[in-house]
Structures are given as C-alpha cells and as structure tokens.
Amino acid sequence: MWNLWQSGFVRSLILYSALLPAVVAMLMVVAAYYKTRKYPSWRNIIWGAAILGGFLGGYALIYRDFSFPPRTVLSWLPWLALVGGIVVAIADRRKHPGWRYGARGMTASVSAWILLWPIVRQESVLAAFLAWLTVAGLWSVLWLALIPDKRDQKSTGATLFVGAVGLALVAPLSGSILLAQFGSALAVVLAVALVFSFLIRGSRWDSPSADVGVLILGALMVDLRFYAGASTVVMVWLLVSLAAGAGVASILQHRGSSSRWAVLTPGLISSLPMAVAGWMALQTYLVRGGGY
C-alpha cells in the first residue's frame, strides 16, 4: 500500500479527485453554517454551495480549464454547473411549480445541445434532432423523478452519491480516467454534504442543492456515453439505478418515513442496479482486451 502511495500518479488521483474536493466542501459547509446563523432561512443553501464549490475545486485541480468560450466538452462542465445551478435556484424561489419544472427542462435541453454539439453538427438534421431529443428527454424526466417537489432532498442526495460512485467505477473501464476523477470528486462532495446534513440538527436539503447534483451527474453521463464510448447496456443500468432510487424515495415519502434509514434506503436500493452496470462495464472491458 505504501509503495502504491509513492506513485505520483496515484497520489495525484487521490488528492485531486477525493481529498482536496472533500476539504473544499467541508470548509464551505462550516463557513456557510456560521455565516447563516443569523439567517436560519438561508441555511438550506449550504448543501448546494458545498456541492458546487467542492466539485469546482476538484475540477480546477483535475482539468484546470476555465476558458470562455469553452474549448472542449469538458471545459463546459463548470459553466453549465454554475449557470444552470443559478437558473434552477432562482426558479425554485417562485411559488408556482411550473417555474421549477420549466427551468429544469430548459437547463437539461440547453446542456444536452451544448454537450452534443461536436457530434450532432456532423449528422443530418433529423439524426441530430433525435439524438438531442432523446438525451434532453431522458435527462428532464429523470430530473423530475428525482426531485418531484420541495421535500427534504437528502434521499435524492444518497441516490446521486451512488450514481457518482458508479460513474467513477464505470468510466475507467470505458477508457476515461478524467471522467472517473470527476465522478469521484462529485461522489466525495455529495458524501460530505450528506454527512454534515445528518450532523447538523434540523437541517434539510432544498431542491437547488439536489438540482446541482443532478445537473453535474447528468453532464458527466452524457460525456460517458458519447465521448468515452460506454455501451448502451451500461448506460441503461446506470439510468435504472437512478430511477430505482427515485422510485423508492417517492414510496417512502408517501408513507411518511423520515428516519435516517429512510433517507439512505433509496441509495442502498439503487446500488444494486449500479453494481450490475459496473459488472457489465467490466465484461465489456475484458472482451476488448483491457488496457487503454
């Protein structure tokens, strides 16, 4: 184990993809908590800020490209997360739920078009439209399923954590270490937010906090499918995992369950199809002969 740590490559992977994003997220949680002591109504935004800040911190260490206009698909990640997060947060302040649903659908649609543009511009108009419609539709529907209302979104956070861990495991098997690092950074900051939200009595995740997680994870999944070349079967199981977590969370919500186990159960259930996705990715990797 010590010899493994001596490797500069392994050490940088652990530091940049896990430890430092976790530190950034923890510092943001602590700072925001004390800053909002006089304004308790603002305390729910802590988690979204920690997730976004921690992920952007990890991105800065891993990829270091904040150019504008973005030069690559991965260069769009921080801008989509930041701008999209602000848009859905503003819409969430509106009383009518149509604003929230519309903002999420619009954000998913615009993000899908931006991420797919290098591919769809080489296709016919019909093929490009169908590809965009499929991605935007799945993204929007899954977003709605994961965050159907303004309830406490900790259970959604648990499902997103499993999704990020699954992506971090599947991505290197599909040939992308970078996406694995981004997935790891997202998983770590989600874990930090979940742990601290349990420790701080009476805290709850508001919808924008979970929105940020859905937005980042969705963008990474688009990159995984269309640029890392993950198989359709693997992507289907990843989507099934998230849908399963959303379904279980909805059932528990209707039953009025609010214990910590009820919060974690959606994540535990979603880990089962996520394990299948990992197994399928491993089989595909072995069939291809392994290696990069």
Query: Residue 266 carries which side chain, given as an amino acid letter?
Result: P
Least confident span in 11-20, 156-165, 214-223, 283-292: 283-292
Residue count of the chain, please give it. 292
Burial of residue 26, with CB atoms counted within 10 A of its CB: 0-12 exposed, 13-18 middle, 19 or more buried: middle
Average pLDDT, stretch 110-134? 87
Q: How confident is the model at residue 292 (pLDDT cuts 50, 70, 90)?
A: very low
Residue 7 pLDDT > 60: no
Q: What does the alpha-carbon distance between residue 246 and residue 160 come to, in Å, rounded to a whole number?
A: 10
Query: Residue 66 carries which side chain, given as an amino acid letter?
Result: F
Q: What does the alpha-carbon distance between residue 26 and residue 196 come to, in Å, rounded to a whole number?
A: 8
pTM of the shown model: 0.89
| 24 contacts: CB under 8 Å, gap ≥ 6 | 53, 54, 57, 58, 189
Residue 39 dihedral angles phi and psi, to the nearest 5°: -130, 75
Q: What does the alpha-carbon distance between residue 284 and residue 178 come to, in Å, rounded to a whole number?
A: 19
pLDDT in tens, 233-285: 999 999 999 999 888 888 877 776 666 677 788 888 888 999 999 898 888 87
Q: What does the alpha-carbon distance between residue 81 and residue 90 come to, in Å, rounded to a whole number?
A: 14
HEC-encoded secondary structure of 51-119: HHHHHHHHHHHHCCCCCCCCCCCHHHHHHHHHHHHHHHHHHHCCCCHHHHHHHHHHHHHHHHHHHHHHH
pLDDT in tens, 40-99: 666 667 777 888 888 888 888 888 878 778 888 989 999 999 898 888 888 877 777 778
Residue 38 confidence (pLDDT): 64
